[in-house]
């Protein structure tokens, strides 16, 4: 006799995820209200002519002190902005679809967010990338506000497409980008 329910762990997660989404009415996982107090977490963006990128592979860096003082090193993440981004991540229920250990989420419908900074860098450099972003931060922002621009190949056939979150205040998006870059 063939079982009606697939007992594999992945099937169980999908089943309970669908039940949770149905019960909570999260068919698009898109709350509209912004997180209170996020206006103070705004990030000033550099003009395009001020953007500095590094062409030295991470493995080639031998002296950490020199890398910190280097004009090509990445800016130090703002802990308050990362914390604000975590609050936005949870308030917008990103973890219903995305797995991220740092946020304690185990979503399966969308790509995992662990190591997203490195993943974003690889995606914008890939010849198959169809978006307009050049930096990992731009890629993450694009994925939040216009996710249809580039669909991650392993998730192209999902029935749970990433909805656009362009309705969020800029401060919330800035904080979310910073939080995801830090993962």
Segment 116-169, tens digit of pLDDT: 999 999 999 999 999 999 999 999 999 999 999 999 999 999 889 999 999 999
Residue 61 covered by a domain: no
- Identify the CATH number of the domain in which residue 110 sits: 1.10.760.10
Q: What residue numbers bound the domain in which 29 lies?
A: 9-35+78-181
Mean pLDDT of 178-182: 96
**pLDDT, tens only, 47-68:** 444 443 333 333 333 444 444 4
Is position 54 within any domain? Answer: no
| Cα 37 versus chain centre, distance | 21
Judge whether 116 lies within some domain: yes
| 105 vs 116: CA distance, rounded Å | 15
Residues 5, 57: Cα–Cα separation, whole Å: 48
* CA distance readout (Å), 29 to 21, 64, 71, 134, 153: 8, 41, 40, 28, 21
CA 54 – CA 153 distance, rounded (Å): 28
Q: DSSP assignment of the chain, as one string?
A: ---SS--SHHHHHHHHHHHHHHHHT-SS----SPPTTGGGG--PPPPGGG-----S-GGG---HHHHHHSTTSPPPP-HHHHHHHHHHHHHTTGGGT-EEGGGTEE--SS---TTHHHHHHHHHHSTT--S---SHHHHHHHHHH-GGG---GGGTT-SSPPPP-TTS-HHHHHHHHHHHHT-
Q: Give the total number of structural domains in the chain.
A: 1
The answer to the question of residue 168 being in a domain is yes
How many other CB atoms sit within 10 Å of the CB of residue 119?
19
The answer to the question of residue 19 being in a domain is: yes
Question: What is the percent of the chain where pLDDT is above 90?
Answer: 56
Query: What average pLDDT does the chain have?
Result: 75
**Residue 96: which of 37, 12, 16 has the closest Cα?**
16
Q: What is the pLDDT of residue 4?
A: 54
Taking residues 7-25, what's their average pLDDT? 48
The pairing of beta strand 99-100 with beta strand 105-106: antiparallel
Query: Does residue 87 form part of some domain?
Result: yes
Specify if 72 maps to a domain.
no
């Amino acid at each position: 006799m063939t079982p009606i329910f697939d007992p594999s762990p992945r099937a169980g997660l999908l089943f309970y995820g669908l039940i949770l989404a149905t019960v909570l009415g999260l068919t698009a996982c898109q709350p509209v209200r912004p997180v209170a107090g996020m206006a103070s977490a705004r990030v000033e963006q550099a003009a395009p002519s001020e953007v500095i990128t590094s062409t030295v592979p991470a493995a080639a860096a031998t002296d950490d002190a020199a890398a910190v003082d280097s004009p090509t090193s990445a800016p130090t993440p703002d802990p308050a902005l990362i914390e604000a981004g975590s609050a936005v991540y949870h308030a917008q229920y990103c973890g219903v679809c995305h797995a991220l250990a740092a946020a304690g989420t185990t979503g399966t419908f969308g790509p995992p967010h662990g190591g997203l900074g490195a993943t974003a860098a690889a995606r914008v450099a890939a010849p198959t990338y169809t978006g307009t972003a050049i930096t990992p931060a731009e890629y993450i922002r694009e994925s939040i506000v216009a996710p249809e621009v580039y669909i991650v190949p392993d998730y192209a056939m999902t029935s749970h497409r990433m909805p656009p979150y362009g309705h969020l205040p800029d401060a919330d998006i800035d904080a979310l980008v910073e939080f995801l870059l830090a993962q």
